[in-house]
Amino acid sequence: MNALHVIESLGRGGAEQALVNLLPTLARRGHRCEVAALWGPYPLAEPLERAGIVVHRLDLVHRWSLWQGVPRLAAVCRRGRYDVVHAHLFFSGLYTSLIRPVAPRFRLVVTFHNLGYDSYPATTAWRKVRRQLDGWLMRHAVDGWTAVSEATARHHERHLKLSGVTVIPVAVDLGALRPVLTADGAPNRLAAYGVGWEEFALLVPGRFVLEKGHRFLLRALELLREQNLKPKVLCFGDGPLRSDVEAERAKRGLEDQVVLHRSLPNAELLALVRSAHAVVMPSTNEGLPISALEAMALERPLVATRVGGLQTLIEDDVSGLLVPPADPEALAAGIARLMADPALRERLGRAARQRIETEFSTEAVAARWEAYYETLLANSGSPRARRARLAYLAAEIPRRLVRVSLCRFYDVSRWHVASDANKPYVLDVIAYLEARRPPRVVEIGCGFCDILSHLHAPVRFGYDANANVIRAARLYTRLKGARVALRQLDLLRDGVPDVAADAWILVNWLHEFEPERVTQRVRQVFARLERGAVMLFDTVPSPPYRYAHDARAITEGLPCRLEAISHEPGSGRTVWVVERTGP
């Protein structure tokens, strides 16, 4: 598998370091991996190139230099003939989305690394425009979305109106950390930063930005000083609020306790993390900070806030301590516990290392990426599915306006405004049926006929329980030039319609009903199938959906062949084909 990873820069940051950790492992497993950095600086290019990873430096003069970035990135993609282009962070996703019309062969994946729309809310006109642009491109030009934590996935699903974002965490290269873990000389390293032999050392990795919560840490240190506890605190990072943190430090009289230092090369920082007694992360928002994973891998006890990916990474009082965000009193109490109990620090450190070894090693995460890429290429890579996606994009704006008008006129839920025709599982259903070419197709729960209107079957029947949806769908399909016979019908209440068909479609609504009722009706539909005819239905997990169904239990004992034709790793949705093989 050939993949190009697009990143904004290769400066010292979490998303950038995540690539340095992961890509050499993917390369060792036989994959060709390259990186394109949109602009400088490029300090992390050196470890990547040392590991045999090709780095393309695009040298954009400004992050909005579309006139430079689009042709340069498109040229890289055309030369590289990649199977997957994988974008990280906002501008990388923007540029890769914009080159789709000129380099459409690859499958595009975007990974979300942070909770940026909460940290910087869309309160200005420009931020609102950026969010709308981001959401539109993510929904209509991207084949797959992933996030580094559950919190990050839900955040972007909410703000960008996405569904089915897959969670794959960042990884830690345990082999690279082994020399740091076994090295000695901790007191000498700390002494260079003014930490005395008997002083308790806390390390705080992270940029000086609002969401890192330095202000709450300074207040917590003030509270600890009132208890005659004076840990030495080393803060490493860059950022626009450094001067504000310095002023707050001076205001609280903490200059002798708190050292602010520029960011360090990762190897130097890790050595200091290993030397410190504990690591503190007082953040108010976090995706899944790789600095937290590295501290845990180095057996350092961690005091962190219960936000974002931290709350799922750290098991409270098992592999670290969690405290409420923006709560200096709770943060001070957590630090005091660690200062008073060496046995607790040792226990938390050992458990933290074990957790990283089990779930966050580069080998474990690389295996998850391999499975994700394979599924993406298998499910969304057919030429027919690609043509269906491009056709959808070309007509999206007028289509959306028409659907909004119909929903308002017929008093239909706005849930029908967004078309399903760009969703991977729907594309897979369309591609399967178009390849099979059944002459008669029936869809139960057809909505606005997003599947039926893309098929070329001579006879198409659509049924929906909502009479207004049927009225709106009649007009909508006429406007599209699709000939679909539409009727109101509630399958669970009214039973199976008395029509003959070669393919029956029941997707995207079964999860609203109890398994017993669904099984009964699905079997009744199966009874209508002639030998060789097919029925398609989907299953989803519960939660987050209301009910989960077992495809094998539904079809148990039936003379049929059961096959999965689509699976979305993020949402867990699987589309099944049931083909009748006997009387």
Question: For 40-50, how does the pLDDT look when each residue is reduced to its tens digit (9 = 90+)?
Answer: 999 999 999 99
- Give pLDDT tens digits for 285-322: 888 889 999 999 999 999 999 998 899 899 999 999 99
Global pTM? 0.63
The more confident residue out of 17 and 119 is: 17
Examine the pLDDT at 385 and tell me if it is beyond 50: no
- Confidence band (pLDDT; 50, 70, 90) for 389? low
Q: How confident is the model at residue 435 (pLDDT cuts 50, 70, 90)?
A: confident
If you average pLDDT over residues 201-217, what whole number do you get?
93
Residue 434 and residue 543: Cα distance in Å, rounded? 32
pLDDT range class, residue 481, cuts 50, 70, 90: confident
Q: Say if residue 20's pLDDT is above 60.
A: yes
Tell me which of 18-22, 142-146, 198-202, 420-424 is least confident. Answer: 420-424
**List of domains in the chain:** 2-170 (3.40.50.2000), 174-360 (3.40.50.2000), 391-580 (3.40.50.150)
What is the average pLDDT across 94-121?
83
When pLDDT is averaged across residues 148-169 and rounded to a whole number, the result is 91
Position with higher pLDDT, 414 vs 344:
344
pLDDT at 393: 57
Which amino acid makes up residue 278?
A
Which class for 294: exposed (0-12), middle (13-18), buried (19 or more C-beta within 10 A)? buried
Q: Distances in Å between the alpha carbon of 310 and those of 169, 223, 283, 319?
A: 12, 24, 9, 11
For residue 427, is pLDDT > 80?
Answer: no
If pLDDT is split at 50, 70 and 90, which confidence band does 382 have? Answer: very low
pLDDT value of position 251: 93
CA-CA distances (angstroms) from residue 400 to 128, 406, 411, 416? 19, 10, 16, 10
* Model pLDDT, residue 175: 84
Is it the case that residue 72 has pLDDT exceeding 90? no
Q: Identify which of 27, 39, 37, 38 has the alpha carbon closest to the alpha carbon of residue 3.
A: 27
How far is 62 from 68, CA to CA, in rounded Å? 9
Mean pLDDT of the chain: 88
3-state secondary structure 153-172: HHHHHHHHCCCCCEECCCCE
What pLDDT is attached to residue 386? Answer: 54
On the question of pLDDT at 330 being above 90, the answer is yes
- In the block, residue with structure tokens 């995540």: 18
Residue 11's nearest CA partner among 43, 55, 39, 50 is 43
Helix (H, G, I), strand (E, B) or coil at 112: strand
What's residue 425's pLDDT? 80
Reply yes or no on whether the pLDDT at 176 is more than 90. Answer: no
Is residue 183 over pLDDT 80?
A: no
In the predicted model, is pLDDT for residue 381 greater than 80? no
Residues 6+ apart with CB under 8 A from 479: 402
Per-residue pLDDT band for 438 (boundaries 50, 70, 90) equals very high
Q: pLDDT at position 26, please?
A: 95
Q: What is the pLDDT of residue 384?
A: 38
Of 35, 8, 182, the closest CA to residue 95 belongs to: 8
**pLDDT tier for residue 390 given thresholds of 50, 70 and 90:** low
pLDDT range class, residue 392, cuts 50, 70, 90: very low
